[in-house]
Amino acid sequence: RAQPKKKKKVDVKKEQAQKERMKKKLKKLEKAAPELIPIEDFITPLKYSESNRVRSLPPLSPEEAERRVLLLKKWCLFKQKQDEAEKKAIKALVESQQEALKELQLESEELYQAAIRRDEGLFPFEREGPSYTPPLPGYDPPEGKCIDTTKVYTQ
């Protein structure tokens, strides 16, 4: 009758010792810094670093290089003019609104207060942008299934 008692004690002690060892291991793992999730866009797959993948094109002629530089300068000027025109238009818009509000204030204070109140229903404002061609009436798009293959990492 003494033997089963020994077994229990020894088992209990062994189990407790095991649990403590597991807890120590868990603590060590938790203390270590979490592994950083790799950004898949920044890692080029190895198959793209093979040399036979390099495109073979004729080298750039000096006239072509000249033409490109001049075109980029023209583009710079074009974009500057476009930006200035946009800013001018926005300035005119704001001035027009300020003038309207000034006149309204001269007319009636309560209407002015109602006008400068914030419009809560304006945002969030959603709108689909323009496409290259208008939607085709009665178009039936072909059926297909989209299989999502994104890898999900857990820390």
Instruction: Answer whether 150's CB lies under 8 Å from 37's CB.
Output: no
Q: At what angle do helices 62-107 and 109-116 cross, to 10 degrees?
A: 150
Supply the minimum distance, in Å, between the C-beta of residue 24 and another protein.
Answer: 50
101: nearest Cα among 89, 113, 92, 91: 113
Nearer to another protein, 30 or 110 (CB): 110
Supply the minimum distance, in Å, between the C-beta of residue 84 and another protein.
Answer: 14
Residues near another protein, by CB under 8 A? 48, 52-55, 57, 68, 71-72, 74-75, 78, 89-90, 92-93, 95-97, 99-101, 103-104, 107-108, 111, 114-119, 122, 125, 127, 130-137
Please count the other Cβ atoms lying within 10 Å of the Cβ belonging to residue 52. 5
Nearer to another protein, 4 or 58 (CB): 58
Supply the minimum distance, in Å, between the C-beta of residue 89 and another protein.
Answer: 5
Q: Which two tokens stand for residue 6?
A: 């020994």
Nearer to another protein, 20 or 103 (CB): 103
